[in-house]
C-alpha cells in the first residue's frame, strides 16, 4: 500500500508539473537526434535574433543593447511556461512600435524616465497576460476565426517583408505603414544600389536552393556565415553595402523600474494592447506549428508563457516581448522539435552579449533581409486564401478584411478589426434563424427533421420545432419571427407549438423575454406553447423570470415524445397520422414482447402468447381503420412494418 501511495503521489506531482510547464511533457522520448535539430534551430535563431533585436530595440525607443538585456530571460521563461514547441517569443516589431507609442506619450525618448517606463510597461503587460491565462481567458481565441487569422498572419508577414525590401535594394528612408513604405520603394527604385541588390538576390537564391537540396542543411545559418565571410573578404562595406556594424556588449542585473502607481495606471491601456497583440500574433502561428507537428497548444498556457516572457523582459530593463514570425519560421525550418531550442538560444544570446558581438559586424544587411523574407514565406499562405475563396466566400471575405486592415491601419487597429470581423461573423451566423420542424419516421417512434427526412410524418395541429443553436439575444427575435411565420403559413390550423430546447444550456434575459412574448402571440391566436427537453439551469431561469408561470409547468415535458403523447391524449381528432403513430407503437411493443418470449416457460409463456394474440387483433383492427381514413397520397400504408 505504501509503495502504491508513493507511486500515486509521484504521478500526481509529475502531472501537476506537466500542467505548470508543458516543456517537461515535450521532453518525453528526447534523444540526440532531436537535440541536434534543436541546436541547429537555436543557432539559426540566434544568428537572426542579434541584429534584428538591435533594430527592434531602436523601434521601441531604446538603445540597441537593450535587446541583449531582455531577450534571454524572455526566451527561457516562455520555453518553460508556453505550450508551443517551435514558437519564438522574443522581440516583435509590432509590440516594439506599440511600446514606443505608449511610453512616448508620457516621457521624452532617450531619457532615463522613458527607459524606466518602457520596462514598467513590459511588466504590466506581462502581469495582464499571466492573469488572463490563470483566469482561463484563453477562450477568447475561440472568437479568432481561423479564416480571419490566416488573413491576419498573412498581413503581418507582408509588413515584415516590406521592411526588409529596402535592405535588399540598398534604399534608405522608407518609413510609415505598409502602403507608405511600398510607395516610397516604388518611387525610389532608381536609387537601388546594384551591389547591395546582388548580395540580397544571391542570398535569396542560395536560401531557396539549399532548402530544395536538403532540409538537413541549415540554409539560413549557412547563408549567414557565407555572407559574413564574403563581406569581410571583399570589404563590401567600403563599396557601399550596408552592414550591421558595431553591436554594444554587456548585461545588467535584474531590477524593478522606479515608477509610481499613477504611472502604472497610465500604462495599463497600452499594456492591455501589448498583451492582446502578442497573444494574437502568437496563437495563429502556434496553432499552425502544432497542427503541422501533431500536438496541441493551450491558449491559456500561451497567455501565461507570453506573460512570463514580458515579465522577464521588463525586470531586465528591456521592453515588451511578442511572437517573432520570422524567427519562429526559421526555427521550424531548421527542424526544431522542442522548446530546448529557445533555452539554448537564451544561453547563446548571453554568450554573444558578453563575448561575441563583434562576429556580426561584417554581416550585410541585405543578407539578413533575405533570411527574414525567405523565413516568412511560409506565413504567406496563398493556397489557404484560394481555398477559402473556392469553398466559402464569407470566410474568404473575413480573411481579406483582416489582411487589408493590418496593411492599411497597422497591427493593433488591424487586430481589433480582425477580432471585430470574427465576432460579427459569429453573431451574424447565430442571428440567422436555423430551425427544424420535427416529424416521426414511419415505422418508428423516432423524430427527425422534415427537411432531412422526407418521409417524416407530422401530426395535424401540432408543430414541433427545434432551434439548431442555443437561444440567446442574437437569434431570439429571428427565431420568434420564424415560428410565427411557419404557423401563419401552415396548411392546416395549428393548435399547439412544441419547442425542443435541448441546445439551450444557458438562457439569457432576451431569450426568456422572447419565449414570454411568443407565448402571448400564440395565445392570441388560440395556440398553446409547450416546451420540451429544458435543461435544469434554463428551467430555473424561466421560473425566476416568470415565463414558466405563463407557459404553465404542465406544458413543459422531459422529452419531445412525451409532449407528442400529451397532445394526442388531450385532443380527440385521432387523424390518420395519429393512428399510424399508435399502430407503429403497438408494432414496436409486439416486437419487444416477442423477443422476451424466448426466455419464458410454462404459465408465463401462455400469458405472453395471449398478449401477442391481442396485439395482433388490435393491429388488424387498426389496419382496417387506417384503410377507411383519408390520408396523404405520399404516405402509403404499405410502408409501415408488418409481422
Identify whether residues 298 and 190 lie together within a single domain. Answer: yes
Report the distance separating Cα 425 and Cα 418, nearest Å.
11
Residue 198: pLDDT band by 50, 70, 90 thresholds? Answer: very high
Whether residues 110 and 210 share a domain: the answer is yes
Q: What is the dihedral of CA 201, 206, 208, 209, to 10 degrees?
A: 130
Supply angle C-alpha 607, 608, 610, rounded to 5. 65
Residue 294 shares a structural domain with residue 170: yes
Structural contact between residues 409 and 456, judged by C-beta atoms closer than 8 angstroms: no
Collapsed DSSP state (helix, strand, coil) of residue 335: coil
- What was the pLDDT predicted at 368? 78
Pick the more confident residue, 296 or 120.
Answer: 120
pLDDT mean over 510-538: 92
Same domain for 589 and 553: no
pTM for this predicted structure? 0.64
Looking at residue 445, its pLDDT comes to 56
Tell me the average pLDDT across 549-570: 84
Contact 241, 231 (CB under 8 A): yes
The H-assigned helical ranges of 60-108 are 66-81, 93-104
Average pLDDT, the chain: 80
Q: Are 515 and 551 in contact (CB under 8 A)?
A: yes
**Is residue 68 one of the residues assigned to a domain?**
yes
Residue 19 has what pLDDT?
60
Q: What is the pLDDT of residue 616?
A: 66
**12 is a domain residue:** no
Task: State the pLDDT confidence band at 642, using cuts at 50, 70 and 90.
Answer: very low
**Mean pLDDT value of segment 524-539:** 92
pLDDT of residue 126: 95
The position carrying cell 497548444 is 297
Report which secondary-structure segment, H or E, holds 209.
Answer: helix 194-213
Q: What stretches of 2-64 adopt beta strand conformation (E)?
A: none
CA distance 159 to 123: 27
Spatial distance between the Cα atoms of 302 and 298, rounded to a whole number of angstroms: 6
- What is residue 35's predicted lDDT score, i.e. its pLDDT? 87
Query: Quick check: is 21 in a domain?
Result: no
Query: Is residue 224 assigned to a domain?
Result: yes
Predicted pLDDT of residue 641: 45
Residue 376 and residue 301 in one domain: yes
Q: Does 384 lie in the same domain as 332?
A: yes
Of 570, 597, 616, which residue constitutes the final position of a domain? 570
What confidence tens digit (pLDDT) does each residue in 95-104 have? 887 788 788 8
Among the three residues 549, 570, 591, which one is the final residue of a domain in this structure? 570
**Residue 8 counted as domain residue:** no
Look at residue 561 and tell me whether its pLDDT is greater than 90. Answer: no
Closest CA to 323 of 274, 384, 377: 274
SS3 607: helix
Give domain status of residue 485, yes or no: yes
Spacing of C-alpha 142 from chain mean position = 4
Q: Characterize the bridge pairing of strands 462-467 and 435-440.
A: antiparallel
Q: How much is the pLDDT for 45?
A: 86
- Look at 118 and 285; give whichever has higher pLDDT: 118
The answer on 604 and 489 residing in a single domain is no
Residues in the chain: 643
Residue 23 lies in a domain: no
> Any bridge partners for residue 529, and if so which?
497
In a domain, 22, yes or no: no
* Better-scored residue on pLDDT, 264 or 506: 264
Q: Where are the beta strands (DSSP E) in 329-467?
A: 435-440, 447-449, 462-467
Say which DSSP state 352 is in: I
Do 516 and 613 lie in one domain? The reply is no
Minimal CA–CA distance to 74: which of 250, 276, 301, 308?
Answer: 308
240, with CB counted inside 10 A (0-12, 13-18, 19+), is exposed
Q: Which three cell numbers stand for residue 415?
A: 487586430
Instruction: Mean pLDDT check: name the lowest of 44-48, 54-58, 129-133, 604-608.
Output: 604-608
* Distance (Å, whole) CA 438 – CA 435: 10
- DSSP structure string for 570-600: H-----HHHHHHHHHHHHHHHHHHHHHGGG-
Write out the three cell numbers for 356: 561575441
pLDDT of 95 reads 84
Residues 6+ apart with CB under 8 A from 479: 433, 435, 467, 471, 514
From residue 242, give the alpha-carbon distance in Å to each of 44, 367, 550.
21, 10, 79
CA R_g for the chain? 34
Angstrom CA distances, 292 to 85, 337, 343, 611, stand at 11, 11, 22, 63
| Residue 529 in grid coordinates | 406553447
DSSP strand E in 205-336: where? 322-323
> Could you tell me if 238 and 385 lie in one domain?
yes
Q: Could you identify the residue written with the cell 507582408?
A: 158
388: Cβ contacts below 8 Å, ≥ 6 apart:
147, 150, 395, 396, 399
From the centroid of its chain, how far is CA 366?
36
Tell me how far apart the 2 most distant CA atoms of the chain are, in Å. Answer: 112
Domain that holds residue 618: 576-639
Count of CB atoms situated within 10 Å of the CB of 341? 30
End-to-end CA distance of the chain: 60
pLDDT digits (tens, 9 = 90+) for 617-630: 666 665 665 565 55
> Is residue 505 domain-shared with residue 590, that is, in the same domain?
no
Which CATH number does the domain housing residue 558 bear?
3.30.750.24
- pLDDT score of 346: 92
Which tens digit of pLDDT belongs to each residue from 486-506? 889 888 888 889 999 988 888
What is the predicted pLDDT for the residue at 543? Answer: 93
* Residue at a domain's end among 370, 400, 424: 424
Condensed to tens digits (0 to 9), the pLDDT of residues 171-195 reads 988 777 789 889 999 999 999 999 9
Query: At 236, is the pLDDT very low, low, confident or very high (cuts 50, 70, 90)?
Result: very high
Structural domain count, the chain: 3
Cell numbers at 54, concatenated: 538591435
pLDDT of residue 217: 65
Q: Which of 13-22, 307-316, 451-460, 606-615 is predicted least confidently?
A: 13-22
Check whether residue 40 and residue 137 sit in a common domain: yes
What's the pLDDT score for residue 550?
Answer: 93
- 384-393 CB contacts, 8 Å cutoff, 24+ apart: 384/150, 385/150, 385/151, 385/154, 388/147, 388/150
Residues 440, 321 share a domain: no
Cell of 28: 518525453
**Residue 252's CB: how many other CB atoms inside 10 A?**
13
Instruction: Look at 84-88, 235-239, 352-356 and tell me which has the smallest mean pLDDT.
Output: 352-356
Tell me how far apart the alpha carbons of residues 303 and 133 are, in angstroms, rounded to a whole number: 5
Amino acid at each position: 500500500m505504501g509503495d502504491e501511495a508513493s507511486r500515486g503521489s509521484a504521478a500526481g506531482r509529475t502531472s501537476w508539473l506537466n500542467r505548470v510547464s508543458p516543456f517537461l511533457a515535450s521532453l518525453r522520448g528526447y534523444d540526440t537526434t532531436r537535440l541536434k535539430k534543436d541546436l541547429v534551430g537555436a543557432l539559426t535563431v540566434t544568428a537572426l535574433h542579434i541584429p534584428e533585436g538591435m533594430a527592434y530595440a531602436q523601434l521601441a525607443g531604446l538603445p540597441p543593447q537593450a535587446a541583449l538585456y531582455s531577450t534571454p530571460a524572455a526566451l527561457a521563461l516562455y520555453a518553460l511556461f508556453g505550450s508551443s514547441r517551435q514558437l519564438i517569443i522574443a522581440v516583435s516589431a509590432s509590440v516594439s512600435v506599440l511600446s514606443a507609442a505608449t511610453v512616448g506619450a508620457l516621457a521624452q525618448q532617450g531619457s532615463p524616465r522613458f527607459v524606466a517606463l518602457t520596462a514598467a510597461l513590459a511588466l504590466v503587460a506581462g502581469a495582464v497576460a499571466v492573469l488572463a491565462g490563470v483566469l482561463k481567458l484563453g477562450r477568447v481565441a475561440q472568437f479568432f476565426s481561423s479564416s480571419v487569422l490566416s488573413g491576419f498572419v498573412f498581413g503581418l508577414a507582408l509588413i515584415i517583408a516590406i521592411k526588409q525590401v529596402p535592405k535588399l535594394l540598398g534604399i534608405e528612408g522608407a518609413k510609415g505603414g505598409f502602403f507608405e513604405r511600398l510607395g516610397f520603394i516604388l518611387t525610389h527604385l532608381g536609387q537601388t544600389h546594384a551591389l547591395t541588390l546582388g548580395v540580397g538576390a544571391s542570398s535569396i537564391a542560395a536560401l531557396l536552393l539549399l532548402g530544395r537540396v536538403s532540409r538537413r542543411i541549415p540554409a539560413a545559418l549557412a547563408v549567414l556565415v557565407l555572407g559574413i565571410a564574403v563581406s569581410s573578404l571583399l570589404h563590401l562595406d567600403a563599396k557601399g553595402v550596408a552592414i550591421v556594424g558595431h553591436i554594444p556588449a554587456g548585461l545588467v542585473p535584474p531590477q524593478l523600474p522606479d515608477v509610481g502607481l499613477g504611472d502604472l495606471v497610465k500604462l495599463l491601456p497600452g499594456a492591455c494592447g501589448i498583451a492582446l497583440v502578442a497573444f494574437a500574433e502568437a496563437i495563429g502561428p502556434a496553432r499552425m506549428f502544432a497542427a503541422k507537428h501533431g500536438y496541441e497548444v493551450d491558449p491559456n498556457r500561451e497567455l501565461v508563457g507570453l506573460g512570463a516572457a514580458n515579465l522577464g523582459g521588463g525586470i531586465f530593463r528591456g521592453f515588451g516581448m511578442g511572437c517573432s514570425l520570422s524567427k519562429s519560421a526559421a526555427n521550424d525550418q531548421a527542424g526544431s522539435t522542442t522548446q530546448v531550442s529557445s533555452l539554448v538560444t537564451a544561453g547563446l544570446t548571453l554568450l554573444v552579449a558578453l563575448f561575441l558581438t563583434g562576429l556580426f559586424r561584417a554581416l550585410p544587411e541585405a543578407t539578413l533581409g533575405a533570411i527574414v523574407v525567405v523565413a516568412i514565406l511560409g506565413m504567406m499562405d496563398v493556397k489557404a486564401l484560394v481555398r477559402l475563396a473556392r469553398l466559402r466566400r464569407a470566410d474568404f471575405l473575413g480573411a481579406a478584411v483582416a489582411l487589408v486592415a493590418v496593411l492599411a491601419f497597422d497591427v493593433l487597429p488591424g487586430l481589433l478589426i480582425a477580432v471585430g470581423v470574427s465576432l460579427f461573423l459569429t453573431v451574424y451566423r447565430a442571428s440567422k434563424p436555423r430551425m427544424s420542424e420535427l416529424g416521426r419516421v414511419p415505422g418508428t417512434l423516432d423524430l427527425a427533421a422534415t427537411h432531412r427526412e422526407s418521409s417524416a410524418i407530422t401530426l395535424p395541429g401540432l408543430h414541433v420545432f427545434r432551434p439548431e443553436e442555443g437561444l440567446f439575444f442574437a437569434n431570439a427575435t429571428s427565431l420568434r419571427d420564424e415560428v410565427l411565420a411557419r404557423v401563419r403559413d401552415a396548411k392546416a390550423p395549428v393548435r399547439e407549438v412544441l419547442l425542443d430546447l435541448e441546445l439551450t444550456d444557458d438562457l439569457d434575459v432576451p431569450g426568456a423575454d422572447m419565449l414570454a412574448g411568443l407565448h402571448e402571440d400564440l395565445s392570441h391566436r388560440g395556440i398553446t406553447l409547450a416546451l420540451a427537453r429544458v435543461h435544469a439551469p434554463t428551467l430555473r431561469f424561466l421560473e425566476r423570470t416568470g415565463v414558466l408561470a405563463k407557459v404553465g409547468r404542465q406544458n413543459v415535458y422531459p422529452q419531445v415524445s412525451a409532449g407528442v403523447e400529451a397532445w394526442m391524449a388531450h385532443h380527440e381528432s385521432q387523424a390518420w397520422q395519429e393512428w399510424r403513430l399508435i399502430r407503429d407503437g403497438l408494432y414496436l411493443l409486439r416486437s419487444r414482447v416477442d423477443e422476451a418470449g424466448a426466455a419464458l416457460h410454462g404459465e408465463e409463456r401462455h400469458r405472453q402468447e395471449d398478449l401477442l394474440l391481442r396485439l395482433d387483433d388490435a393491429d388488424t383492427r387498426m389496419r382496417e381503420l387506417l384503410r377507411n381514413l383519408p390520408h396523404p397520397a405520399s404516405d402509403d400504408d404499405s410502408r409501415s412494418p408488418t409481422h
